Amino acid sequence: MRLLDLTLPAPADNLALDEALLLAAEGGDAGEVLRLWELPALVVVVGSGGSVEIDVNVAACAADGVPVLRRASGGGTVLLGPRCLCFSLVLSTEANPGLSDIRASNRYVLGRVSRALGGVIPDAGVEGTSDLAAAGRKFSGNAQQRKRRHFLHHGTLLCGFDLSLVGRYLNAPERQPEYRRDRAHDEFVVNLPAAIAEVKRLLVEEWQPAGGYEPVPLDAVARLVGEKYSRDEWTRRR
């Protein structure tokens, strides 16, 4: 596994980079990677199967200039921005045969992330399908995109994020895990009691990447942005 601590300038480029890392591994041009990134400005990101009209307060986003994008992985709609650390893992199912099942792979990755954060939030655990929470409040949402031999697992870790913004730009989700108990966004999510630099260090210590990732597949990023991530027909397809 290699480490890539990189945030590209445009939000769409960052979504495309995650997919480009998966495609590079699947195509045999690269291997497993841990990527860490943090967007400098707010953006709403809808899951592959999500609905912009249902999940997003489109009027508030338009009024405040918050872009709405769609990623290629599943999961729910999220608000990203400053002090929301994103982590992305590309893992091989051939090297780890037990991870060919999505439920098992979620449990594996989230178990390792919660172990890494044990000194920061010792009562953390997996809730719902792919959340990390403590005392019933969520601090990490996760999603996957899978190919034949590799999968991308990416998630968020809240580290001082302005939680009041979540309810402004996101509607209440249609489908909710039982542990949410129909709570509003700002009553359901919580920040980790740690700064992003510390959380990055803990993740690197847990996953132990052996050096930096290179070359960064920027040509693939540009192609993916042009094909879908920058296109309204991709974002607004649901």
Q: Does residue 161 surpass a pLDDT of 90?
A: yes
Please state, for a pLDDT cut of 90, what percent of the chain lies above it. Answer: 97
What value does the mean pLDDT take over residues 52-70?
Answer: 98
Q: Does residue 238 surpass a pLDDT of 90?
A: no
**Over the stretch 81-134, which tens digit does the pLDDT of each residue have?**
999 999 999 999 999 889 999 999 999 999 999 999 999 999 999 999 999 999
Rounded to whole angstroms, what are the CA distances from 77 to 52, 70, 107, 138, 197?
9, 9, 21, 14, 25
**pLDDT at residue number 97:** 87
Q: From the centroid of its chain, how far is CA 112?
A: 16
> Which stretch of DSSP H or E encloses residue 126?
strand 125-127
Pairs from 57-62 (Cβ < 8 Å, separation ≥ 24):
57/168, 57/169, 57/170, 57/171, 60/168, 60/169, 61/169
Show me where the domains of the chain are located.
2-235
Binning the chain into helix, strand and coil, the percentages to the nearest 5 are: 35, 25, 40
**pLDDT at residue number 175:** 87
What fold, for 2-235?
BirA Bifunctional Protein; domain 2 (3.30.930)
pTM for the full predicted model: 0.96
**pLDDT at residue number 29:** 94
**Over the stretch 162-184, which tens digit does the pLDDT of each residue have?**
999 999 999 999 889 999 999 99
**Over the stretch 120-146, which tens digit does the pLDDT of each residue have?**
999 999 999 999 999 999 999 999 999
Cα–Cα distance measured from residue 3 to residue 35, given in angstroms and rounded to the nearest whole number = 6
